[in-house]
Amino acid sequence: MRELIVLGTASQVPTRHRNHNGYLLRFDDEVILFDPGEGTQRQLLLAGLPVTPITRICVTHFHGDHSLGLPGILQRISLDRVPHPVSVHYPAGGQEFYHRLRHATSYWDNADIVPSPVGAAFVAETSAGRLTALPLRHSIETYGYRLTEPDSRRMVPELLAAHGISGPAVGELQRTGRAGAVTLEQVSTERPGQSMAFVMDTGLCDNVYALAQGVDLLVIESTFLAEDAGMAAQVGHLTAGQAAAVARECGVRHVVLTHFSQRYPDPSRFLEEARKEFDGPITVAEDLLRVPFPGRR
């Protein structure tokens, strides 16, 4: 299964209807929790999601609305005896903040939590593909993340039959690229990999575009509306129109807008503004919403 579960969508201050940030990406066997803000553990409960499948946690920066839920999540991972290692990625310059959150209170700490600080050259190979990170433009050290599945090939049964390939020979083809005189290219078609980018708390900069380039799913902050563009630029945030323009210029297939300021009570205004810049699928995120991953190209 490939889907995004939105756990929280507020910026800085939660509201009656929006929890602090939290986003769970299910990408087959890889389950990544992004930016667990305060209350994320309860939001998982409301979404009917256990912590057990989580394989890694990605923190963009150490502002509270993106990280204060980390202690509860890590403690719950211990409480539920999650049997596999869980990697935690976070800005390397925030090591002190990570240490404080990791050991915020006394608890039975028996989980295999693997700290993995992020720098500009960060790369992690996961079961879903390559996870990378790039620095963004905010008031403190902040990184955006991108997950890129490698391209592969899909076997075509009719072509396999036409070349007399069956049984163990199919496995040999997949492993070595050849079975006797038959090559993998003769009996398969290209299967483009999928990609996702997660961009929070940033003003416009080159790395926003680099992260978003050509992705199937872009989760991006749109804290402000155009009427407050000056404030957005001053504090290192995006407007809905800017976020949508990034999606258009980068050829994004589906954009999810989130991280909304509490000053705007009507979420439809974000869609109205974004639609002027991007004519593809737009989701204005709501807490506990599930967003299916787009089908393959």
DSSP assignment of 121-157: T-EEEETTEEEEEEE-BSSS--EEEEEEPPPEEEE-H
Cβ atoms < 10 Å from Cβ of 75? 20
User: Mean pLDDT, to the nearest integer, of 215-240?
Assistant: 96
Return mean pLDDT, the chain: 94
- Please report the pLDDT score of residue 268 as a whole number: 96
188 pLDDT above the threshold of 80: no
What is the tens place of the pLDDT at every residue in 43-57? 999 999 999 999 999
Going by pLDDT thresholds of 50, 70 and 90, the confidence category of residue 174 is confident
107-134 in b/e form (b: 16+ CB < 10 A) is: eeeebeeeeeebeeebebebebbebbbb
User: Terminal CA-to-CA distance of the chain, rounded, Å?
Assistant: 17
Residue with tokens 């946690």: 57
Residue 31 tokens, joined: 């389950």
CA distance 144 to 134: 5
- Please report the pLDDT score of residue 194 as a whole number: 97
Q: Where is pLDDT greater, at 192 or 255?
A: 255
Q: What is the CA radius of gyration of the chain?
A: 21
Give the catalytic positions in this structure.
Answer: 65
- Say if strands 2-8 and 290-292 run parallel, antiparallel, or are unpaired: antiparallel
Residue with tokens 């202690």: 71
19-36 in b/e form (b: 16+ CB < 10 A) is: bbbbbbbbbeebbbbbbb
- Please report the pLDDT score of residue 74 as a whole number: 98
* Residue list for the binding site: 61, 63, 65-66, 138, 201, 259
CB 123 within 8 A of CB 130: yes
- Please report the pLDDT score of residue 296 as a whole number: 84
Residue 257's Cβ-count burial label (10 Å; 0-12, 13-18, 19+) is: buried
- Please report the pLDDT score of residue 122 as a whole number: 95
- Please report the pLDDT score of residue 182 as a whole number: 80
* Residue list for the binding site for Zn(2+): 61, 63, 65-66, 138, 201, 259
172 pLDDT above the threshold of 90: no
Amino acid at 153: R
